[in-house]
Chain A
Amino acid sequence: MNEAGLLVSTRKGLLIGTSSAGRTRWDWSGLHFEGWMVDYSVRDPRTGTIWCAANHFQWGARLHRSDDGGETWREAGTPEFTDGETSLEGIWTIQPGAVDGVLYAGVMPGALFVSEDDGESWRLLESLSSHPYSEHWMPGAAGLMFHHVGIDPEDPSRIIVGGSATGVFASYDGGASWETRNAGIRSDHMPPEMQEFAPCVHSLFAHPKQRGRLWQQGHFGQYRSDDDGETWVEVGQDLPGEFGFASAIDPEKPDTCFFVPMNSDQARMPRGGALAVYRTQDAGASWTKLSSGLPQSGFHQVVYRQALAQDGADPLGLYMGSSGGELYSSNDAGEQWDLILDHLAPITAVRAWRLDGRLEA
């Protein structure tokens, strides 16, 4: 029987869930970091450590860690700019690396930091921030940030990052140098001759089982790449909106991906107020609408870019949080959804993992 752990980041704090009865019942701890906007939280599968990026509008952004499943917390090192001008505004993602002790932090304003001592200290990967294309980067509505980082599990020197609005960058030398990976991504916010300079990426995943396979929800379309982002193929022509934020992969099935399309970047809610997840199982050739159990009218919310999660189990568990503080779960890869929490603050991020009997390492 599958069970899962769940991290629900909200604008008012963090909730940690553990399931029982085959992911049908949930016990919750929290609210951790009450009153702080939790930008992102993730569990490191190598150690069981839970990382929590909490942000306070008065007191700034911090990174915290728990090594006992959320029982206790302590402040970790926080990425810090040292140029005397730039200052950290938020930590949008923490990505465990492929080497022990290595973590990556995608932050706002647009930069990537690396830690080689399990989060105690951080080093800016200057070569990304100073890439020649950075002069074209522009903040979206939420600011300028890198929010998705992928590390090749077989080769830790291979890194791919996506940001808003920076586009996609790949490094094959552990972050020492970076190449753009934007060919084929539409940038309707830029003149035609500038399409490749700063596409707005909303979510990006590299598939762990098929090197080169990437999935992306962009500001202007859904995409698949089979060559590490050298070229992108737009796959969402049959979806009810090119716009959207969240996506999720099935870590065992490279041809499967989930998107939550919104009607447009002008309205930013599901078409007709009907919330639905769309799944492809054939690399984007066809799509299945998954809406059973989800509100089919009057849903005027959005699902943020990190608010769709999968737990890696079979059948796949999916978890989706909304800007109206509703949390939905599915035990069967999206066929049926249930509302498992509501009345929360806007849900900024959801991350899940398959439980093997304990929360912590």
Chain B
Amino acid sequence: MSVEIRMARGLRVHLDVPERVEVEGVTAREAIDALIEIHPPLRRFVLDDAARLRQHVNIYINDELINDRKQLSDCVSEGDTLYILPAVSGGAVNEMGSEQERI
């Protein structure tokens, strides 16, 4: 299946990657793996050490948030668009947290 992956501006300001990349895959995992093969530095931005989706990163397939954040087993279909987006929740923890976060 050919799918398009779109990467948010919030990601692209940190990393020299294009906004849109075409990859092949039948699951979100296969699509993300194919993307990382093209742009290896993306791996640590999107996935944690256990290859799960990072806590404050979301992946949508068209207008549906994926269900399986661990295995990324959600299926994709020909012509789907897969969005990699930073979650707004992450900022809240960081900005509002007190020094308790550091000590």
Contacts and interface: CB of A to CB of B under 8 A. Distances in A.
A58 B54 contact: yes
B92 to A, nearest CB: 9
A141 B10 contact: no
B49 A346 contact: no
Interface residues of A, number: 32
Given A58-B10, A58-B54, A78 B103 contact: no
B52 interface: yes
B101 interface: yes
A140 B102 CA distance: 10
A60 B44 contact: yes
B70 to A, nearest CB: 10
B103 A57 contact: no
Nearest to B94: A57
Interface size of B as a range: 20 to 34
Interface in B18-72: 41, 44-45, 48-52, 54, 56-57
A11 B93 CA distance: 13
Contacts of A202: 103
B91 interface: yes
**Main secondary structure on chain A at its contact with chain B?**
loop
A277 interface: no
Given A37-B94, A58-B10, A60-B44, A87 B52 contact: yes
Interface string B65-93: 00000000000000000000011001101
A323 B86 CA distance: 27
Q: Among the interface residues B57, B91, B102, which one has the most CB atoms of the partner chain A within 10 A?
A: B102
A58 B52 contact: no
Interface of A: 11, 37, 56-60, 62, 75, 78, 80-88, 140-142, 202, 245, 268, 301-302, 304-305, 323, 346, 348
Interface of B: 10-11, 14, 41, 44-45, 48-52, 54, 56-57, 86-87, 90-91, 93-94, 99-103
30 contacts: A11-B94, A37-B94, A56-B14, A57-B91, A57-B93, A58-B10, A58-B56, A58-B57, A58-B90, A59-B14, A59-B57, A59-B86, A60-B48, A60-B54, A62-B44, A80-B49, A81-B49, A84-B50, A85-B50, A86-B49, A87-B50, A87-B52, A88-B49, A141-B101, A141-B103, A142-B101, A245-B103, A304-B102, A346-B99, A348-B102
